Amino acid sequence: MLDFIIRRHSIRKFKDENIPDKDLIEIIKAATLAPSGKNSQNWHFIVIKNRNKLNEIADIVKNKELKLSQYIKDGIEKNKFISSIDNHIFFKDAPITVFVYAGPYPDNRKKILKNAKVAKEEIEEYINVEPRIQNIGAAMENLLLAAANLGYGGCWMTGPMLAKKEIEEYIGFHKDGYSLVCMAPLGVPSENEIISSTRKPIEEILTIID
Ligand SMILES: Cc1cc2nc3c(=O)[nH]c(=O)nc-3n(C[C@H](O)[C@H](O)[C@H](O)COP(=O)(O)O)c2cc1C
């Protein structure tokens, strides 16, 4: 019954095969079928197919992370930081990468509570649950499930966001209040045996209250 969920794994290596536009559009449409607070649909998807552009973006990420690594004094921490760079640039070998922008979440309750002089901490408690970003999470999971069910694979990525500003500048997309929050390379998986990372036991993550 849950096959369509079990079929999804993070895919980081891809065959040299393109995704036809009709499949791509189906995948993006699936993303937009996700629930969103106030049906705000505060997402925008930029798809880059051009391999040179993806390589240039990967270079931007690598250079930014190398630059930041210069601030790390502890040798072990520095090596750890540098060795994780490959996990943030493998999208350069995917046929396409989807860059996901989040827009503002129209929430007048914050303003109403502020005007009513409710304590700032109490308002922040509420804002901390970040409905704006939760919407994007729902869309991302739909996107990856749809891709897996069409025979593709991908990986949700926030690692490259250390170079968020630089990537935004490179892409040059402007929509009021929107900014880059994550990305996902997509393609035909190259791994023969595709498996997910292990999961915590159910007893550890589930509490049922009668
Ligand atoms: C918000 C988020 C950010 C992630 N960022 C990265 C990333 O930058 N690089 C990467 O290789 N994997 C990234 N992943 C993939 C996770 O490592 C992966 O989902 C997890 O290990 C579980 O494996 P599975 O997706 O195969 O089930 C990210 C996943 C999520 C949900």
Two tokens, residue 41: 């649909």
Collapsed DSSP state (helix, strand, coil) of residue 47: strand
Pocket residue to mutate for ligand 1, from 143, 144, 155, most atoms within 8 A of Cβ: 155
CB 158 near ligand 1, within 6 Å = yes
Would residue 147 count as lying in a domain? yes
Please report the atom of ligand 1 found closest to the CA of residue 195.
26
Would residue 196 count as lying in a domain? no
Would residue 209 count as lying in a domain? no
Residue 56: its pLDDT value, please? 98
Residue 192: its pLDDT value, please? 65
Residue 122: its pLDDT value, please? 87
Helix (H) or strand (E) holding 39: none
Residues spanned by the domain of 165: 3-190
CB 184 near ligand 1, within 6 Å = no
Mean pLDDT by 10 residues, the chain (210 residues): 88 96 98 97 98 98 98 97 98 98 90 91 84 97 97 97 98 98 97 80 97
Two tokens, residue 113: 């509570």
| CA 156 – CA 6 distance, rounded (Å) | 16
Query: Got the DSSP string for 78-145?
Result: HHHHHHTGGGGTGGGGSSEEEEEEE-----HHHHHHHHTT--HHHHHHHHTT-HHHHHHHHHHHHHHH
Would residue 83 count as lying in a domain? yes
Pocket residue to mutate for ligand 1, from 5, 10, 194, most atoms within 8 A of Cβ: 10
Residue 40: its pLDDT value, please? 96
Residue 146: its pLDDT value, please? 98
CB 45 near ligand 1, within 6 Å = no
| Backbone conformation region of residue 94, classed left if phi is above 0, alpha if psi is from -120 to 50, else beta | beta
Helix (H) or strand (E) holding 195: none
CB 183 near ligand 1, within 6 Å = no
Count of positions (residues) in the chain:
210
What's the total number of domains in the chain? 1
Give the CATH number for residue 31: 3.40.109.10
